[in-house]
């Protein structure tokens, strides 16, 4: 046992007791106060014995009692009879009594003779470590190596519960700039608690309650945590939520997911992982539309994520999200519209998509005209025109014909911007519903919110044309336009289609009044459009 030269042990002890004395001589028994100078550096467990509260003899007997956990009492030299040999024993045992690394920790665990396992692992073992993180690492290493002590921990519910109650409260939020050692402590402690809960959920009824508390701690901790901690905490939360899905309170789990998602939204790849995991494993805790609404159309990752929903929940919700997002962002317009086109190509034969897309395309053309009349959102109108023209190349006949007819009708109103005719052919047929809706929206142009048109504000429904019956489920929505103004009186000559007579009459009146030639009023019926085109 005495593997080192005695002089080496003497120097170690004497240099800590009295560095200015003779360090090579055999030491004499020290007073409890002198000995505490060494204990604080090498044996923190001995500091539990207060020198002032016990007698000289009882103090050293207490030290021997602690050492008896590592060696039989008969193998430990007496400090009273042979103190130099006792110091050599301490020097040789210093790395076992006070572990400094994981190797020492396993030596400690193999050597320590505990009388009560629960008492030892929860209350006694931490006292032997200078660094709390090393104690936690040793517990985690027991799990990683499938050590017999780990199996003993997870099979005793009282030990698991006691460890949770003793340590879970340490998982408190820290400042993001805090020392990395503190966050390492949180990571290691959290991993131990996570593994304890996963291992005991089936057999320990308390683990379900502890799982909820643990997740609450994590949700509060995530906002201030560095990315590495957020990633791991997200894994803990989502895995425990899935494991407790059958046994847990659904309202508690729903609230957890609702509170959790906003905190990880600012870290894109964590947010994407969370959305996909919830969509594929925890969708019963939310609705697909609510989950979809948490995703913003503000990155290629998000656009791809929204597109992926179409394979899980069908085309309409993702298509609506992308179509609305394309209008809200000039930066992401083309990417979002391209993703929407992928959905259209895949589901172009579905009747619900046909009905919705017909309205959407018609309203986009109307938006281009209203934008030009109001001289607002010019850049968006150009982007919309460009995107609508791309629909001609999808090789879907009904969409191509729809775009041609609507573009022809809108162009005939003479309300489109100058570049419009360069995007669409000029030979097609009129689309009566388009002209009717355009006329209705034009009458209340000043009351329409073009910023969100054709959608009704933040909703995913279309704003209804004022002149149409709102009972149509495809267009029904609460409109914010308000009551319609009265229709202006029509020129009886124009109403009969006699445009040439009306022009001559205006020229005569202009010459008499000495005024400039007035601008011809735009036709307001389909009959007039055909007359004007011929």
For 150-182, write each residue's pLDDT tens digit.
Answer: 998 999 999 999 999 999 999 988 876 666 888
User: CA 168, 169, 171: angle at the middle one, nearest 5?
Assistant: 75
1-15, 41-55, 385-399: range with highest mean pLDDT: 385-399
Q: What is the pLDDT of residue 307?
A: 95
Per-residue pLDDT at 38 exceeds 70: yes
pLDDT of 471 over the 60 cut: no
Assess if residue 285 is contained within a domain.
no
Domain C-terminal end among 97, 123, 140: 97
In a domain, 504, yes or no: no
Which pLDDT belongs to residue 503? 41
- Provide the domain limits for residue 388: 348-466
Q: Read off the pLDDT band of 534 (50, 70, 90).
A: very low
Picking from 363, 400, 367, 394, the residue whose alpha carbon sits closest to that of residue 382 is 367
Say if residue 512's pLDDT is above 50. no
- Tell me what pLDDT residue 434 has: 92
Residue 351: how many other CB atoms lie within 10 Å:
7
Q: CA–CA distance from 113 to each of 44, 45, 68, 103, 308 (Å)?
A: 18, 15, 8, 18, 58
401 lies in some domain: yes
On whether residue 78 sits in a domain, the answer given is yes
Say whether pLDDT at 361 is over 70: yes
Residue 212 confidence (pLDDT) = 96
Q: Judge whether 219 lies within some domain.
A: no
Per-residue confidence band for 526, with pLDDT thresholds at 50, 70 and 90: very low
Lowest average pLDDT, out of 51-55, 269-273, 312-316, goes to: 51-55
Q: How much is the mean pLDDT over the chain? A: 84
156 falls within a domain: no
For residue 149, is pLDDT > 80?
A: yes
> Does residue 332 fall inside a structural domain?
no
Q: Is residue 530 part of a domain?
A: no
The sign of the CA dihedral 381, 385, 390, 394 is positive
Show which of 466, 498, 514 is a domain's final residue.
Answer: 466
- Number of domain units in the chain: 2
Structural domain ending residue among the three candidates 53, 76, 97: 97
Exposed e or buried b for every residue in 397-432, given b needs 16+ CB within 10 A?
Answer: eebeebbbbbbbbbbbbebbbeebeebbeeebeebe
Helices marked H in 145-287: 148-154, 157-167, 180-200, 206-221, 227-243, 250-264, 268-281
């Amino acid at each position: 046992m005495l593997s080192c030269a005695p002089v080496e042990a003497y120097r170690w002890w004497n240099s800590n007791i009295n560095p200015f004395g003779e360090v090579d001589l055999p030491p004499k028994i020290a007073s409890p106060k002198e000995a505490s100078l060494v204990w604080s550096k090498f044996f923190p467990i001995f500091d539990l014995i207060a020198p002032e509260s016990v007698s000289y003899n009882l103090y050293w007997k207490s030290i021997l009692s602690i050492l008896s956990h590592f060696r039989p009492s008969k193998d430990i030299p007496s400090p009273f009879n042979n103190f130099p040999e006792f110091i050599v024993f301490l020097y040789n045992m210093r790395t076992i009594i006070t572990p400094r690394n994981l190797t020492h920790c396993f030596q400690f665990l193999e050597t320590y003779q505990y009388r009560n396992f629960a008492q030892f692992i929860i209350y006694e073992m931490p006292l032997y470590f200078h660094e709390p993180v090393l104690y936690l690492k040793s517990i985690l290493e027991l799990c990683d190596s499938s050590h017999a002590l780990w199996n003993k921990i997870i099979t005793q519910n009282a030990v698991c519960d006691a460890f949770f109650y003793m340590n879970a409260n340490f998982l408190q939020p820290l400042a993001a700039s805090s020392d990395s050692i503190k966050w390492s402590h949180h990571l290691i402690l959290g991993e131990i608690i996570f593994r304890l809960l996963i291992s005991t959920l089936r057999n320990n009824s308390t683990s379900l309650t502890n799982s909820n508390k643990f997740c609450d701690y994590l949700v509060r901790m995530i906002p201030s945590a560095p990315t590495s901690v957020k990633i791991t905490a997200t894994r803990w939360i989502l895995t425990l939520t899935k494991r407790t899905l059958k046994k847990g309170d659904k309202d508690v789990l729903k609230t957890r997911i609702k509170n959790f998602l906003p905190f990880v939204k600012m870290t894109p790849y964590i947010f994407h992982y969370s959305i996909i995991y919830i969509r594929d494993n925890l969708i019963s805790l939310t609705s697909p539309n609510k989950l979809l609404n948490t995703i913003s159309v503000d990155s290629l990752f998000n656009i791809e994520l929204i597109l992926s929903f179409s394979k899980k929940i069908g085309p309409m919700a993702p298509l609506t999200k992308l179509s609305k997002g394309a209008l809200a962002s000039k930066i992401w317009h083309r990417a979002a519209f391209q993703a929407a086109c992928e959905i259209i190509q895949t589901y172009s034969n579905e009747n619900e998509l046909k009905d919705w897309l017909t309205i959407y395309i018609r309203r986009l053309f109307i938006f281009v005209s209203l934008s030009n009349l109001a001289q607002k959102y010019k850049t968006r109108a150009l982007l919309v025109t460009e995107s609508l023209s791309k629909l001609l190349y999808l090789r879907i006949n009904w969409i191509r014909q729809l775009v041609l007819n609507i573009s022809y009708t809108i162009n005939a109103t003479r309300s489109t911007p100058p570049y419009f005719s360069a995007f669409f052919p000029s030979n097609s047929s009129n689309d009566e519903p388009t002209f009717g809706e355009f006329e209705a929206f034009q009458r209340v142009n000043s009351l329409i919110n073009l910023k969100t048109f054709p959608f009704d504000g933040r909703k995913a429904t279309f704003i209804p044309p004022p002149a149409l019956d709102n009972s149509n489920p495809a267009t029904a929505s609460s409109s914010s336009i308000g009551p319609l103004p009265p229709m202006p009186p029509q020129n009886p000559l124009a109403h009969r289609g006699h445009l040439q007579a009306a022009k001559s009459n205006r020229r005569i009146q202009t010459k008499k009044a000495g005024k400039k030639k007035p601008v011809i009023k735009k036709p307001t019926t389909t009959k007039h459009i055909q007359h004007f085109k011929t």
